């Protein structure tokens, strides 16, 4: 099974664990025939996995991960930081081991000890945690950036915006302030319909977020113009057609286990918005198609009803006639065009009679003698037009 490539799902996945990677590891764990494997797995966001295992060493699987770095400024230029590696080790310290140096072309290589995975239902949870290694790397990068913001790099009491870009042409900004953190997302769409759907969604998100039920959630704000925190940024980053969405994150949103959830929500906000827009468009198209089918069905039933009523009337008329009248009806139907033609000919004859000249006996001889038109001669020649 060497050299096989399995492309991942080409859509934004909101789950932490990679479904494709989880499936491969589960299949390898449950397979009683320990065969040599060599898989290449590609997923959305330029993420690549390389899974290897040899027949001589069946208990160990080597997993190499290549993922775009969230920011090159904070991370080391030749790999992942020590903080991120510690977070990866914390997934399952008894199973996950980091191999140094990493395989060429990858930021991280792990050696997985499948003999340490418990038997039973817990095995699925352990493998799901391992399959979420890319989410751990990405989340730890954002956590480290927030912790390593330079306190002296401030402007009028506020930290300068930190531009982060994970997917191409989808940057977002993090502004750290003394009492809160502001995350700003410029929204761009190619289709005007998507802009309309997204704008309605953001307005609804603001209304719901301001209600009493969701008062503990980070406040959301949408504006068609850039917020004041982004003053001084480039025109390219501030040119949007969907406006700007901002979230205010306070200290209670990053306490304990809430930190991971908050960071993961920020990293997947673009994916969630795209998912919502596509789902809404599909729902609208499905409703329109269903409505159109309903109208066509109503028109079809109406037409069938009219035809049925017409047939019943003709049948009733036919029952009141003596035998042989049906043939006469057919003859009348067939000769109807001839009747119309005869009427048209009569009308034409009457019109022609009206336009005929009134004849007076002897008037022709009088006209030829006394009402002759004089003849004119001209030096110019004329050609009679036919």
Question: Please, are residues 162 and 145 in contact by the beta-carbon 8 Å criterion?
Answer: yes
Peptide bond into 101 cis (omega under 30): yes
Query: How is residue 367 written in tokens?
Result: 């006209």
Query: How is residue 346 written in tokens?
Result: 């009569």
Residue 384: what pLDDT?
Answer: 56
Residue reference for tokens 């769409």: 189
Which residue ranges make up each domain of the chain? 19-147, 158-278
Residue 186: what pLDDT?
Answer: 93
152 CB-near residues (< 8 Å, 6+ apart): none
User: 111: closest CA among 47, 71, 65?
Assistant: 65
pLDDT by residue for the chain (386 residues), tens only, comes to: 444 443 333 344 467 888 889 888 888 888 767 678 888 888 876 789 999 888 777 788 899 998 877 764 444 444 678 888 888 888 888 899 999 888 888 889 999 988 888 887 788 889 999 998 888 888 888 887 766 555 445 555 556 788 888 776 788 898 888 778 889 999 998 888 899 999 999 988 888 888 888 888 888 899 999 998 888 888 888 888 889 999 988 888 877 778 888 888 888 888 889 888 999 988 988 888 888 888 888 877 777 777 777 777 777 666 555 555 555 444 444 455 665 666 666 656 655 555 444 455 555 565 555 545 555 454 555 455 55
Which CATH architecture group holds 19-147? Answer: 2-Layer Sandwich (3.30)
Cross-strand partners of 49 = 41, 65
Residue 222: what pLDDT?
Answer: 92
Cross-strand partners of 164 = 172
CA 376 remoteness from chain centre: 86
CA 114 remoteness from chain centre: 40
Q: CATH for 158-278?
A: 3.30.1460.20
Residue 330: what pLDDT?
Answer: 47
Q: Do domains 19-147 and 158-278 have the same CATH topology?
A: yes
DSSP secondary structure letters along 90-102 = TS-TTTEEE-SSP
């Amino acid at each position: 099974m060497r050299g096989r490539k399995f492309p991942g799902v080409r859509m934004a996945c909101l789950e932490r664990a990679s479904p494709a990677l989880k499936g491969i590891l589960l299949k390898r764990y449950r397979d009683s025939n320990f065969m040599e494997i060599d898989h290449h797995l590609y997923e959305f966001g330029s993420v690549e996995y390389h899974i290897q295992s040899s027949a001589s060493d069946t208990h160990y699987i080597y997993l190499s991960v290549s993922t775009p770095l969230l920011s090159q400024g904070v991370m080391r230029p030749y790999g992942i930081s020590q903080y991120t590696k510690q977070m990866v080790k914390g997934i399952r310290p008894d199973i996950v081991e980091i191999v140094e140096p990493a395989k060429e072309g990858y930021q991280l290589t792990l050696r997985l000890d499948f003999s340490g995975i418990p038997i039973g239902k817990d095995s699925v949870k352990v493998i799901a945690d391992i399959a979420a290694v890319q989410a751990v790397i990405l989340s730890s990068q954002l956590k480290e950036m927030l912790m390593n913001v330079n306190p002296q790099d401030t402007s009028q009491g506020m930290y300068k915006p930190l531009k982060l870009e994970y997917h191409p042409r989808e940057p977002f900004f993090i502004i750290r302030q003394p009492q809160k953190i502001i995350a700003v997302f410029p929204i761009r769409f190619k289709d005007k319909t998507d802009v309309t759907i997204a704008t309605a969604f953001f307005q609804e998100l603001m209304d719901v977020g301001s209600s009493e039920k969701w008062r503990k959630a980070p406040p959301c704000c949408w504006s068609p113009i850039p917020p004041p925190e982004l003053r001084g940024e480039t025109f390219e980053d501030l040119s949007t057609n969907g406006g700007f969405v901002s979230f205010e994150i306070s200290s209670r949103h990053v306490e304990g286990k809430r930190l991971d959830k908050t960071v993961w929500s920020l990293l997947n906000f673009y994916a969630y918005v795209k998912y919502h827009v596509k789902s809404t468009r599909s729902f609208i198209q499905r409703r329109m198609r269903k409505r159109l089918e309903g109208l066509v069905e109503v028109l079809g039933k109406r037409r069938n009803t009219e035809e049925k009523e017409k047939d019943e009337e003709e049948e009733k008329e036919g029952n009141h006639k003596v035998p042989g009248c049906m043939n006469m009806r057919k003859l009348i139907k067939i000769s109807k065009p001839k009747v119309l033609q005869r009427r048209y000919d009569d009308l034409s004859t009457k019109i022609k009679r009206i336009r005929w000249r009134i004849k007076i006996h002897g008037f022709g001889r009088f006209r030829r003698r006394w009402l002759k038109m004089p003849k004119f001669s001209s030096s110019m020649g004329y050609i009679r037009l036919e």
